[in-house]
Structure 1
Amino acid sequence: MDVHEYQAKELLARYGIPVPRGGLAYSPEQASYRCTELGGDAWVVKAQVHSGGRGEAGGVRVCRSDHEVLDAANELFGRRLVTRQAPGGKLVYRIYVEEATDIARELYLALVLDRASEKILVIASPDGGMEIEELAERAPEAVIRSVVEPAVGLTPFQAREIAFAMGLDAGQIAQASKLFQGAYRAFRDLDATLLEINPLVVTGDGELVAVDAKMSFDDNALFRHPEVSELRDRSQEDARESHAADRGLAYVGLDGDIGCMINGAGLAMATMDMIELAGGEPANFLDIGGGASPERVLKAFRAVLNDKAVRVMLINIFAGINRCDWVAKGIVAAFEEIDVSIPVVVRLAGTHVEEGRRILRESGLPIVTADSLSEAAREAVAASRAAVPA
């Protein structure tokens, strides 16, 4: 789960990380009022969307009067902000008005969950203000990596090593070390999967301030953090994924037109590969899991058909813990309860496969069956091409 910039900053501030003062606005008038509350002679108006690259897309504006703040907010509210990370655009419903910061230098700091080492990885650089991928490609030697041992956490000496490697002055090392350790505690305590401060700036007074922040959290750990869970903004999420997640389904939306319902993540990946090899494009990743009941199969059916781009549905079940007859009953129930107007290709294998095939055969439904995954993929791609209007 992602959160907005202002929410990430509120969380980080609890861990002693300095952030600029700011206020949230839900209308242009409120944005203008926020700058008078903050005082000063310059403010930054920021569109709050779950995407990086807002500045390049015009979602971050520096303003020097309340009238400029009002005009900037007027342009941003209701706009679909298209960025490199969100080519489909994200609607702007919230704006954050922040006091301008005297920036002398920009740095980069991030903590990520490194699945290869199964540890937290600190990534830092003396060059901030750009995407880390661009920085790693342009100047890989400028990227600092430091693995945190889970048994001891981010130690003071390790934090100081990172600060020295970032080229900070001797007088800033203690402040940087405290900030890095606060960021680590926030990442660890809140079960985050990403914490990025870009840029982390050195002000004209030599202070370190988190001017921008991004945080993502482990969905499976949100039950432990209701204060984080309530920050969820569904307007920024893929509607298909939200619909499926609310029903306990592992779903990831894609850009193709062949809807997939599969049991097991590995089999789901293999199925999508087979669709690609057959010349098609999967519309989603959907793992219904082991022991799926007919009711769960029906929920999965609804989740796939919730995507209006789907032209054909491919169901691939290799039953171990699961049972083919349960899945077959769920498929029949779906046809009875939902208006299924697209071709459906089914491949069943494993536990109770003969009973499952009998249920489908005797249902009289217009279902295409396949004996192998490759055959099912070919049938689905053929049905997809036949469904495309000339």
Structure 2
Amino acid sequence: MARKKVREADGKRLVKKVLKQQAGLDVPIQVVQLKELQGDDSGAPPPPATIKAYYDQVLEENLWLLDQPLVVKPDMLFGKRGKSDLVALNKSWDEVVEFVSARMGTELEVSGVKGRITTFIVEPFVPHDFEFYLCIQAHRAHELLSFGDCGGVEIESNWDRVRSVQVPVEESLTEEMLEAVLIDVRDKGQKAVLNRFINAAFQAFRDFDFTLLESNPLTIVPSTDKTGELQVLPLDIRVELDSYATFKNMQLWNDLEFPEAWGRSKIHEEKVVQNLDDKSGASLKLSVLNPRGHIWTMVAGGGASVIYADTVVDLGWGDELANYAEYSGNPKQEETYLYARTLLSLATKYLDGKRRVIIVGGGVANFTDVAATFTGIIQALKDFKGKLQEGKTKIFVRRGGPNYKAGLRLMQECCLEIDVPVEVYGPDTSMTKIVELGIEYLKGQ
């Protein structure tokens, strides 16, 4: 499971769509997203006329923006926007445009992390008397359903009023479970409409591969039609999805964006690997820490990759650690090849006459065919023969598991063929020994 956050506007659109599809439930969500426009290649911002045309187009496609007061706030995957004075309430469309224009592209520090505001969410301003809290979280063996009658900005100080139940993955949500979390809701009409909403949301959560659905606050409003029936309205939402289920939900998620965490943006090569990971049943990860570093890692297994990175830091060479990278889940040869090519393009990008090392490490595999995965890496090494030589690169390999001896032999033969120095080790050598050897090689220049 890979948990990926989506922006609030996308989360609300998705919830509205799946609850209508799943349970015929109309959720009165109206939402618009305003994004920063990109300038030309020189880095200059777009001219005012272009920005005005953009806002005019948004308005033309969403005329309801003129019919009611509005709320606007950043849609950047960080919370407590109200406490940070980043929410404007009860505003006209012109006031929204003014608010956004003054803040779009500005730098902000949130919880010690700096980033730029590039996206806002706009929706109707809804006066309300009640604020509830709802959260559904996916765990390995169960979903955790939590509900409180005390939602809003002070939820943390009222956490003792939040009721929770665990729903085992092989079981359905029952009326008894719903009653347990709704026990503090005294009004029968409110309880009935909340019951229906939560039941539908929970089923959609499972069916459409959510990993988190949190609304704080959630409120209840009368419908705008003649019936005036009560409807549940999520005023604020957080949604995370299991990106490994992209293939299953491709049509539903087609327009969704999986943005980076606040303050971080991926470089091209990281995006390439993320795209590989999204389409694969295996796990392929790459994070660049220092693109000019001289210690590069390509490690099998998430746990092992952390151990290798920690060892580099513990030995006092953290400033030279260029990346965090791991592959696992028995990736196909073509996937390993493309993954290794991407990493090697980075490792040989900034050649400065100094030595560099590539750590091809891992523990003892249970099921992965070591020789098969090494075949993809070997193909990529041959592609970068000249660059590896120019970069005074030495490769250190440590691996165990099915067919590991053949894999180590293939790696040794490849490096002999391309005239790149290599040392290979099996499971009889401690996993992190090759880190020490790599550092000794760097010290020897």
Report the TM-score, using the length of structure 2 for normalisation.
0.70
Provide the rounded CA distance (Å) in 2 between the counterparts of 1:372 and 1:316. 11
| Equivalent residues of 2:382, 2:418 under 8 A apart | no
Q: Say whether 1:238 aligns with 2:270.
A: no
Residue 182 of structure 1 and its aligned partner are, at CA, apart by 1.6
The verdict on how the C-alpha distance between 1:380 and 1:301 changes in structure 2, with shifts beyond 3 A counting, is farther
The verdict on how the C-alpha distance between 1:314 and 1:144 changes in structure 2, with shifts beyond 3 A counting, is farther
Which one of the candidate residues 142, 149, 155 is aligned to 1:126?
149
- Counterpart of 1:100 in structure 2 is 125
| Equivalent residues of 1:294, 1:333 under 8 A apart | no
The verdict on how the C-alpha distance between 1:49 and 1:147 changes in structure 2, with shifts beyond 3 A counting, is same
- Counterpart of 1:330 in structure 2 is 379
Residue 249 of structure 2 aligns to which amino acid in structure 1? H
CA-to-aligned-CA distance 1:343-387 (integer Å, 9 cap, x gap): 554223332224433432453325576764323223556788999
Residue 169 of structure 1 aligns to which amino acid in structure 2? D
- Counterpart of 2:203 in structure 1 is 185
Which one of the candidate residues 223, 228, 241 is aligned to 2:247?
223
Residue 202 of structure 1 and its aligned partner are, at CA, apart by 4.7
Provide structure 1 residue ranges, at least 5 long, that are not aligned to the other structure.
none
Provide the rounded CA distance (Å) in 2 between the counterparts of 1:344 and 1:90. 39
The verdict on how the C-alpha distance between 1:157 and 1:372 changes in structure 2, with shifts beyond 3 A counting, is closer
Q: Say whether 1:363 aligns with 2:388.
A: no
Residue 98 of structure 1 and its aligned partner are, at CA, apart by 0.8
Q: Say whether 1:199 aligns with 2:224.
A: no
| Equivalent residues of 2:340, 2:380 under 8 A apart | no
Residue 335 of structure 1 and its aligned partner are, at CA, apart by 2.5
Residue 326 of structure 1 aligns to which amino acid in structure 2? T
- Counterpart of 2:115 in structure 1 is 89
Residue 316 of structure 1 aligns to which amino acid in structure 2? G
Residue 321 of structure 1 aligns to which amino acid in structure 2? D
Q: How many aligned residue pairs are there?
A: 378
The verdict on how the C-alpha distance between 1:98 and 1:325 changes in structure 2, with shifts beyond 3 A counting, is closer
Residue 254 of structure 1 and its aligned partner are, at CA, apart by 6.4
Residue 322 of structure 1 aligns to which amino acid in structure 2? V
DSSP-derived class of the 2:415 partner: helix
The verdict on how the C-alpha distance between 1:270 and 1:81 changes in structure 2, with shifts beyond 3 A counting, is same
- Counterpart of 1:247 in structure 2 is 276
Provide the rounded CA distance (Å) in 2 between the counterparts of 1:7 and 1:202. 21
Residue 316 of structure 1 and its aligned partner are, at CA, apart by 0.9
Provide the rounded CA distance (Å) in 1 between the counterparts of 2:75 and 2:359. 37
What does 1:160-171 correspond to in 2, within 5 Å? 160-165=179-184, 167=185, 169-171=187-189
| Equivalent residues of 1:17, 1:209 under 8 A apart | no
Residue 114 of structure 1 and its aligned partner are, at CA, apart by 1.3
- Counterpart of 1:314 in structure 2 is 359
Provide the rounded CA distance (Å) in 1 between the counterparts of 2:218 and 2:327. 39
- Counterpart of 1:285 in structure 2 is 325
Residue 212 of structure 1 and its aligned partner are, at CA, apart by 1.5
Provide the rounded CA distance (Å) in 2 between the counterparts of 1:99 and 1:203. 13
Residue 329 of structure 1 aligns to which amino acid in structure 2? I
| Equivalent residues of 1:57, 1:83 under 8 A apart | no
Which one of the candidate residues 163, 185, 188 is aligned to 1:144?
163
Provide the rounded CA distance (Å) in 1 between the counterparts of 2:127 and 2:26. 17
Which range is displaced more, 99-108 or 186-195?
99-108
CA RMSD across the alignment: 4.0
CA-to-aligned-CA distance 1:94-116 (integer Å, 9 cap, x gap): 4332110113233221111112x
Which one of the candidate residues 322, 337, 340 is aligned to 1:300?
340
CA-to-aligned-CA distance 1:5-62 (integer Å, 9 cap, x gap): 2222222223126344333445444566688633455211133334444445555322
Which range is displaced more, 330-339 or 378-387?
378-387
- Counterpart of 1:267 in structure 2 is 304
CA-to-aligned-CA distance 1:207-246 (integer Å, 9 cap, x gap): 6420112222212212121233312326646345431032
Provide the rounded CA distance (Å) in 1 between the counterparts of 2:100 and 2:444. 47
- Counterpart of 2:48 in structure 1 is none
- Counterpart of 1:43 in structure 2 is 70
Q: Say whether 1:157 aligns with 2:202.
A: no
Which range is displaced more, 267-276 or 208-217?
267-276
Provide structure 2 residue ranges, at least 5 long, that are not aligned to the other structure.
20-24, 36-53, 223-227, 278-282
